[in-house]
Structure 1
């Protein structure tokens, strides 16, 4: 098993889903809930993200083939989405792809089950993270590193669960400045991931372009 590939999967998911930035959003959506209800919501968020991640990883390629698309086509589009998300983070803004449009955000206040919508989808499991899962799951299968992919994904889900369950504590000890710095750091990592995905796709689609 390639430990480096597993670390790459973990790092990519941590950067794009960014559970640290998700903590204050989770707290605002669950404000007024009893501690037990907050923990239940955190567990439901983790389960929803885990199911969505597994489905994306296992069925992503088959869905693309159904629509007559290749992984390289999706990798190029996904790299562009990730890059746009990274630019939003670097500017200290929330991308509509993850935060939702203005009209969608108005419904957040009346959502009865915030664990699924909007916390899990689209705030955590959005277009960028789904594209990343599909692309890296295919890469893991094609290079014989499928086990490393699942280990990296499992490690991230464990960290996500821990951060969601301990969100009230994290919200008390982590300052807004740390959140802002983390957002921009994740933006830099995401920018590199997005560029890598686009370059890999272009190299596969146009083999002669590097020469």
Structure 2
């Protein structure tokens, strides 16, 4: 039981480091700016549930998915890095991103899945982290990994639905500044993923 507890702590720490709810909150704020509380809650629920479903699939079937499609970790990191960079670039360059100019239906359906679920919540880093934990894991450990990731997604949901409070606390103008800064950070993270993928592919 003690080993299971230590394993659970290690898994939770790994997921929370790569998928920090407080770090993801400004991204959510930037993508859902000017939307009402009910819409934000709807987007948050769909994004976190979609991300959990995707990562759960990789936790259970990840090795077979990679083998079946002939996927490699370097290609996964390079593609994910490009996607993450594009999200950050969009946040930096526009007063109101092209995503934010969509209709209500497209907006809800669109950003819940991409970019929130993929690649922000269920990005290459998160999926690779999950697959690392599943290496040689038994059935009980797989359940622990699923539970820990579900808790991390729940914490992200709480952070997202608290975003209105953050707007009132910080102020709309400062939120815009934070959005631009987070856009830069996200673009750098995407570039770093790209560099890591190239490094693994050609130098290791």
TM-score bin (small chain): 0.5 to 0.7
* Alpha-carbon distance in structure 2 between the residues aligned to 1:4 and 1:92: 39
Tell me by how many angstroms 1:70 deviates.
1.4
Whether the 8 Å CA contact 1:10–1:152 is kept in 2: the answer is no
User: Which of 63, 72, 89 is the equivalent residue of 2:74?
Assistant: 72
Cα 1:139–1:195 change in 2 (3 A) is: farther
Normalising by structure 2, what TM-score? 0.63
Alignment of 1:159 with 2:155, yes or no, is yes
Aligned pairs for 1:87-126 within 5 A = 87-91=89-93, 99=99, 105=102, 108-110=103-105, 114=108, 117-126=109-118
Shift of 1:140: 4.0
| Structure 2: distance between partners of 1:142 and 1:135 | 11
Secondary structure (helix, strand or coil) at the match of 2:19 reads helix
Q: Distance in 2 between matches of 1:86 and 1:38?
A: 20
Structure 1 residue 72, shift from structure 2 partner: 1.8
- SS in structure 2 of the partner of residue 18 of structure 1: helix
Q: How many residues align?
A: 194
Cα separation, 2, equivalents of 1:131 and 1:139: 14
CA separation in 2, counterparts of 1:25 and 1:85? 10
Which residue does the alignment assign to 1:55? 57
TM-score relative to the length of structure 1: 0.62
Equivalent in the alignment of 1:196: 192
Matches within 5 A, 1:119-134: 119-127=111-119, 129-132=121-124, 133-134=126-127
Distance 1:188 1:148 in 2: 34
Change beyond 3 A, Cα 1:21–1:54: same
Structure 1 vs Structure 2 CA RMSD: 4.4
Q: What is the CA–CA distance in structure 1 between the aligned matches of 2:181 and 2:128, rounded to whole Å? A: 23
- 1:162-200: per-residue Cα shift (whole Å, max 9, x none)? 133334433433312332233233334434433432333
- Identify unmatched segments of 5+ residues in structure 2: 1-5
Q: CA deviation at 1:125?
A: 1.0
Q: Is the 8 A contact 1:61 1:134 kept in 2?
A: no
